Amino acid sequence: MTLTAPQSTISDLLTHQRDFFATGKPRDLGFRLDALNQLRAAIVEYQADIIAAVRQDLGRPEFEGYFEVGVISELDYVIKHLHKWAKRRKASLPLSQWPSSAWVQPEPLGVALIIGPWNYPFQLIISPLIGAIAAGNCAMLKPSELAPATSGVLADLVKSTFDPGHVALVEGGVDVAQALLAEPFDHIFFTGGERVGKIVMQAAAQHLTPVTLELGGKSPCIVDTDINLEVAVKRIVWGKFLNAGQTCIAPDYVLVHEAVKPALVKALQQRLKDCYGDHPAQSPDYARIVNDRQFERLISLLDYGTVLAGGTYDRGDRYIAPTLLDDVAWYHPVMQEEIFGPILPILTYQELSDAIAAINQRPKPLALYLFSHDQQVQKTVLDQTSAGSVCLNDTIFQVSAWDLPFGGVGHSGMGAYHGKYSFDTFSNLKSVMKRPSWLDIDWRYPPYQGKVKQFRQFIGLS
Ligand code: NAD
């Protein structure tokens, strides 16, 4: 079912999903696998529509459109491993607990609400949905209204694939999101910005609903001296400028050792030409800014610093050239907020400790990138900074390893997902202990007189 809905319709829909959940169907392993396979088939069927929709919403090149469809690789991974994850997980017990047995029994939470952003508008709804279904839940989806074409494709896909009691989609903007948030869901999975993340968490608190918040922030990219410059530059440019910089884990800014800066800048300038030509506005491989509001915000960030490449824009086309910015200070607006667009400030450091201190003075980032082959440098950065994820000598790729949790820390979010981490996020990991009755020693029961010494020994005191 899909609808743009007032509160009463949303309440009815939730009741319908609760009733469906109560039938026990969604938690049946065969049903879950069938649903995941149907979802896979639907994505394959809709792939051209998905790619066309993200082109319409974001001017996304076809190649980058496939990042959305690529969510099927996660689906395949989940389908392959679900049997194992859904099983009881045996827990070990100390000898003193003999003859008990214990295990963790994953169980679904109920009905999950999944709210998505506009930048990867298909993938960031479907990827959490995979986890919700795999764990045996029902799900209600609310894609971003700021990617309307993709929202429409998602609505069609969901309608044609799922029983609305199992998975339903509600289209709409802030009012619809707030109507949904007023309901007592069993889990809320939110991907978006920090400001709305706080609103979601406040709403969830009213019902004590657990939340996963996948937020953003400024992800630094440290470039040290021991690097393969050519490869590093290719990877930085790709990670920063794909989807015109509108990627939550894009390198937000470069923090380069001052000895390397001149060579890095030259190589970055050349690389931009290699990728997007002399006129990136005409490149078929370069996306556009999602809407006028984001466009104006980004343009205002260009008021400070020196442009080393790009810096031009076209309002009518919502085009901003891939831009390198020099002479930027931490107090400039471009360094005060998540950029989320095709502007790459280049800052320098003399000592690695200075770069680390600069990062640690700011909110913990969603991702941190380090280009260095020096293992001591790698260890120092890993040990002395905190981030949701780190990729050494590349960008973005950590997000495609289904065995790695994906999430933020501190202001960049809470909770994580992907692969088994999604399964666990959408599960209650229920602890079970089983005790036989044939043995029942009296040591714990009142009257306690004469039992304290024995109990002290039992808990490890002499
Ligand atoms: P956003 O927070 O503005 O919107 C996200 C969703 O929240 C949308 O569906 C929107 O309808 C809803 N929403 C907006 N205002 C609301 C309100 N007042 N009350 C309730 N719901 C509301 O985020 P966005 O602009 O769509 O996405 C950009 C942000 O998302 C960036 O900060 C980016 O870093 C982050 N992001 C994070 C990840 C991640 O995986 N961690 C992925 C993509 C984007």
If one residue of 191, 200, 404 were mutated to test the ligand 1 pocket, choosing by the most ligand atoms within 8 A of its CB, it would be: 191
Look-up: residue for tokens 């029983």? 163
Over residues 133-159, mean pLDDT: 98
Pocket mutation for ligand 1, best pick of 248, 366, 404, 411 (most atoms within 8 Å of C-beta):
248
Q: Per-residue pLDDT averaged across 151-178, rounded?
A: 97
* pTM of the predicted model as reported, rounded to 2 decimal places: 0.96
CA of 297 to the centre of ligand 1 (A): 16
* Structure confidence at residue 6 (pLDDT): 66
Nearest residue (CA) to ligand 1, atom 16 = 174
Pick from 422, 381, 384: which is nearest to 405 by CA? 422
> Which pLDDT score, from 0 to 100, does residue 4 have?
53
The reply to whether ligand 1 has any atom less than 6 angstroms from the CB of 366 is yes
Alpha helices in 256-291 (DSSP H): 261-276
Find out whether the peptide bond into 447 is cis, omega within 30 degrees of 0. Answer: yes
Residue 7 is predicted with a pLDDT of 72
Can you tell me the distance from the alpha carbon of 129 to that of 138, in angstroms, rounded to the nearest whole number? 9
Q: Is the pLDDT of residue 274 over 80?
A: yes
Q: Is 74 in the pocket of ligand 1 (CB under 6 A)?
A: no
Q: What is the pLDDT of residues 350-385, one digit of tens each?
A: 999 999 999 999 999 999 999 999 999 999 999 999
From 176, 185, 196, 290, mutation site for ligand 1 pocket: most ligand atoms within 8 A of C-beta: 196
Quote the CA–CA distance of 392 and 401 in Å, as a whole number. Answer: 14
Distance, first Cα to last Cα, the chain? 64
Q: Is it the case that residue 440 has pLDDT exceeding 70?
A: yes
Whether residue 413 has its Cβ less than 6 Å from ligand 1:
yes
Contacts of 460 (CB under 8 A, 6+ apart): none
Q: How far is the CA of 128 from the centre of ligand 1 (A)?
A: 15
Contact 218 CB / ligand 1 (< 6 Å): no
Among the atoms of ligand 1, which is closest to the Cα of residue 197? Answer: 2
- Asked if the model's pLDDT at residue 65 lies above 80, the reply is yes
pLDDT digit string, tens, across residues 97-108: 899 999 999 999
Ligand 1 binding pocket includes 248 (Cβ within 6 Å): yes
Interacting residues of 376 by C-beta distance below 8 A, sequence separation 6+: none
| φ/ψ bin of 198: left (φ > 0), alpha (ψ from -120 to 50), beta (otherwise) | alpha
**pLDDT > 70: what percent of the chain?**
99
Looking at every residue in the chain, the average pLDDT score rounds to 96
288 with 242: CB under 8 angstroms?
Answer: no
pLDDT at position 1 over 50: no
Cβ of 337 below 6 Å from ligand 1: no
- Atom 39 (ligand 1) nearest CA: 214
pLDDT at residue 432, rounded to an integer: 98
The per-residue pLDDT for range 176-199, each reduced to its tens digit, is 999 999 999 999 999 999 999 999
Average pLDDT of span 413-420: 98
Say yes or no: CB of residue 170 within 6 Å of ligand 1.
no
Catalytically active residues, by annotation: 214, 248
What are the φ/ψ torsions at residue 154 (nearest 5 degrees)? -60, -40
**What residue's CA is closest to ligand 1, atom 9?**
144
Q: How far is the CA of 308 from the centre of ligand 1 (A)?
A: 31
Atom 35, ligand 1: residue with shortest CA distance? 192
- CATH assignment, 2-215+413-429: 3.40.605.10
Distance, in Å, from the CA atom of 402 to the CA atom of 419, rounded to the nearest integer, reads 5
Fold of the CATH domain 220-407: Aldehyde Dehydrogenase; Chain A, domain 2 (3.40.309)
Which residues, in sequence order, are bridge partners of residue 103? 90, 432
What SS3 class is residue 185? coil
Q: Is the pLDDT of residue 219 over 60?
A: yes
Q: Using pLDDT thresholds of 50, 70 and 90, give the confidence band for residue 5.
A: low
Atom of ligand 1 lying closest to residue 366 CA: 41
Where are the domains positioned within the chain? Answer: 2-215+413-429, 220-407
71 lines ligand 1 (CB under 6 A): no
